[in-house]
Amino acid sequence: MPVPVVPPRVRVEIVGGRLLRLNPPVSESMVPWGPKAGAWRNTQAAGWREYEPEIRVAELEADTESAASRFLVSRWPERVRRAVRGFSHGQWRLILHANYCGPHYEELLESHPAMGWLVAYRERFRPGEREFATWAAARRLTGLRRRTIVGEMGFPDTERTVRLLGRVPVALLSVETMRALRSALHSAGAERLWRLPRLNQTVAAIVANPARLARVTQAFLETAAAWDDGEEMERCLDELDGRHRRRAQAPWPTVFREPPLPETETIRAIRTKEELTAEGAAMHHCVGGYGWRVLEGDVYFYRMSEPERATICITPRAGWWVLEEVQGVCNQSVRESTLAAIEAWLAAGR
């Protein structure tokens, strides 16, 4: 009769501010706070290596029976525990940054969670720059203006970007989502994202797919931003993708319908798919692929020559045509005087 194998028992020890978990052949050592804070794992194959334990502060706080949980919780300041509770992952990394970067980082994480998260994951947005991954770099970033921080991560360095990132729920913060959002904010659809009152899982799923983002209207995005039901999100995204497949198979006309607003000497309608493609090539942005939105009545495009060169996109809303976005060359923002001229043109067309 075979002898049953009894798994080795995990032994936990707390020695001199260090938590040891001995589970042969693996040993773990954690110093939760202080000048030597960190976590290391030892295996027979690799020896001692630093690693990031996946922790949940709320679960550790609730586990009052475990000496290990009580030890960890007792070492972390209440302000830090409160700031990291809502994050879906990476709580250990955030705690270490609070430990090594001090009160300024704690304040940043508390007042603008996405900004604190970006500092903690900074090396994932500038890979290959070893100096950028150091604690010195983290402390330097923490002391910068917020728009400068996002600029160092490759986002547009504007106050609008800072406000938009402040609307990202902490549960959605991930490297993949934030990289996709960064790309979207450098695209022709950035204006639509900046105007959203909030971001959620649905918007994140749209942003993660550039082709999908290019297909949706501003009204769809604003509706999607209000959803919290995962099933509703999946149903609508499936329908959106299905419409795209059907659209790709359909023979579309090349001439657009009559412009909805009168032209002026400096604002001319773009009347065909060929003209729209030429506009995209001349302005170095992706407007040329939006012809189907014009044909479906979602938007209409105009070419502006003065006071500066720009592409205007208008969309119907509540019985009127309103500005959806305006882009200069290479998706650059336009001047305030240009926006004022466009608003005056829109008002005259009502």
> What's the predicted TM-score (pTM) here?
0.67
The H-or-E segment that residue 302 falls in is strand 300-304
In this predicted structure, what is the pLDDT of residue 237?
62
All residue ranges of the chain with pLDDT < 70 are 1-9, 188-189, 215, 228-252
Using CA atoms of 253, 239, 194, 209 in order, give the dihedral in degrees to the nearest 10: -90
Q: Looking at the chain, how many residues does it have?
A: 350
Instruction: Go through 239-275 and write b for each residue having 16 or more CB atoms within 10 A of its CB, e for each that does not.
Output: ebeeeeeeeeeeeeeeebeebebeeeeebebbbebeb
In this predicted structure, what is the pLDDT of residue 201?
79
Mean pLDDT of the chain, nearest integer: 85
Identify any residues that bridge with 113 across adjacent strands, giving them in sequence order.
Answer: none
- Within 10 angstroms of residue 345's Cβ, the number of other Cβ atoms is 20
| Sheet (strand 11-15) strand order | 11-15, 18-23, 26-31, 38-43, 47-50
In this predicted structure, what is the pLDDT of residue 6?
47
Rounded to whole angstroms, the maximal C-alpha distance in the chain is 96
How far is the C-alpha of 146 from the C-alpha of 303, rounded, in Å?
35
Identify any residues that bridge with 47 across adjacent strands, giving them in sequence order.
Answer: 43
In this predicted structure, what is the pLDDT of residue 33?
97
How far is the C-alpha of 57 from the C-alpha of 69, rounded, in Å?
9
Identify any residues that bridge with 301 across adjacent strands, giving them in sequence order.
Answer: 313
How far is the C-alpha of 225 from the C-alpha of 337, rounded, in Å?
31
With CA atoms as reference, report the closest residue to 99 among 38, 50, 33.
33
Residue 163 falls in which region: left (phi positive, over 0), alpha (psi -120 to 50) or beta: alpha
How far is the C-alpha of 203 from the C-alpha of 206, rounded, in Å?
5
Encoded tokens for 138:
């983290």
**CB 94, CB 84: distance < 8 Å:** yes
In this predicted structure, what is the pLDDT of residue 232?
58
User: Residue ranges per domain, the chain?
Assistant: 187-250, 267-348
List own/partner pairs for 16-25 with CB under 8 A and 24 or more apart.
17/75, 19/68, 19/71, 19/72, 21/68
In this predicted structure, what is the pLDDT of residue 273?
87
pLDDT digits (tens, 9 = 90+) for 190-226: 777 887 888 887 788 778 777 777 767 777 777 777 7
What string of DSSP letters covers 180-217?
Answer: HHHHHHTSTTHHHHHT-S---HHHHHHHT-HHHHHH--
How far is the C-alpha of 202 from the C-alpha of 234, rounded, in Å?
8
**CB 300, CB 314: distance < 8 Å:** yes
With CA atoms as reference, report the closest residue to 170 among 87, 94, 110.
87
Give the Å distances, CA to CA, from 209 to 23, 237, 240, 289, 313.
43, 11, 12, 15, 21
Identify any residues that bridge with 144 across adjacent strands, giving them in sequence order.
Answer: none
